[in-house]
Amino acid sequence: MQEESRLVLAGRHSERFAGLVNTPVFRGSTVLHASLAAWEDKKKRRAADEHGASTYGRFGTPTHHALEEAVAEIEGGYRALLYPSGLSACATALTSLLAAGDHVLLTDSAYAPTRGFLTRVLGRFNVDVSVYDPTIGAGIEALMRPNTRVVYVESPGSETFEVQDVPAIAAVARRHGARVVMDNTWGTPLFFKPFAHGVDVSVQAATKYIVGHSDAMLGVLTCNQETWPLIKRTSQDMGMTAGPDDAYLALRGLRTMAVRLQQHWKGGVEVAQWLQARPEVEAVLHPALPGDPGHALWKRDFRGACGLFAVVLNPVSAGALEAFVDSLQLFGLGVSWGGYESLVIPFNPVGERSATQWPYHGQALRLHVGLEAPADLIADLEQGFAALARAESSNQQRRSA
């Protein structure tokens, strides 16, 4: 079955809900049982890990279970669980697989809050963190220790867009008895199949492309069969749960993800190629562009690209940068990505890295290309560059006066 069809069908059981196409929103904490025998039977089914056998709202409702089933099927994993945010999913995965005295290898391109959780929280419990160059590939062998339990990958990095050789890293980790946790938010379940590439646990901020409309916060962990009991136990011990309304919005978004991602992919590449030709631009960081350092790995391992990439401007004054960003009409200034709207946010990884050096000199901007017409987005950027030029000219005149 084609992926587009799987996205439409996965997790749907209309026969359970009076023929309704969409699984309804089930809000509730208490689950009543008709008899003591029914209660005992449900407990046995839960103990046997039967999917959907919930005795309490914290363990999920049919709304949650429908989304978990769908994501696990599409991503190619064994089971999935929902969380109130992408970060809480990352934190739960790491807490599940690490203990005092363990060592974790973390890519230098990781989402900053994930890095913060490891160093500020798990570091207090004697978990040792080493940061590695995301382009290391099989060379990660030299960094493995007897107590290395997790190798954390994020490919591509959601700020600087290095593509990692996930299969090579996973092969090394497996030889050393370590597990691979991957942030797969950029690739989505549609464009990167983590379990086919050796990953043990896949983390996604479902807030992004699965929800797709910037109106819900949600995380999801998909596990292989070996890691599932650990993830499930820790999730329940920590009381992790997500709201049913957010799960419903994610289910709705999932059904149209293939169509939306095609537009994000097409629009993102078109805007990125236009930016490559601009004199104001030092570099465009987009794995789907030929010539990008990660393009060969992207082409080998990914089935597509989303709308998120970065551009580095040639050095300009702070006032000129401000004029550029503030003049944009279609690119909103805001955190997050994956919704239908285009966004821009300045960033500077200098000082955040410890295993690699940022090679560029100008201001970096992360762009998310939404579902607007690419021609309109290009026109918006073009007038933004005109505003930048005017501000830079005015600044030079003041300096020479």
Active-site positions? 58, 111, 183, 208
Which residues is 310 bridged to in the sheet? 285, 366
Contact 329, 278 (CB under 8 A): no
Amino acid at 192: F
CB under 8 Å to 14, separation ≥6 — which residues? 20, 21
Q: How far is CA 285 from CA 76, 168, 245, 376, in A?
A: 29, 23, 36, 21
What is the Cα Rg of the chain in Å?
A: 23
CA distance 268 to 141: 35
Token readout for 133 is 């160059």
CA distance 339 to 368: 9
Question: 197: closest CA among 230, 227, 224?
Answer: 224
Instruction: Give the Cα-Cα-Cα angle 307, 312, 313 (nearest 5 degrees).
Output: 125
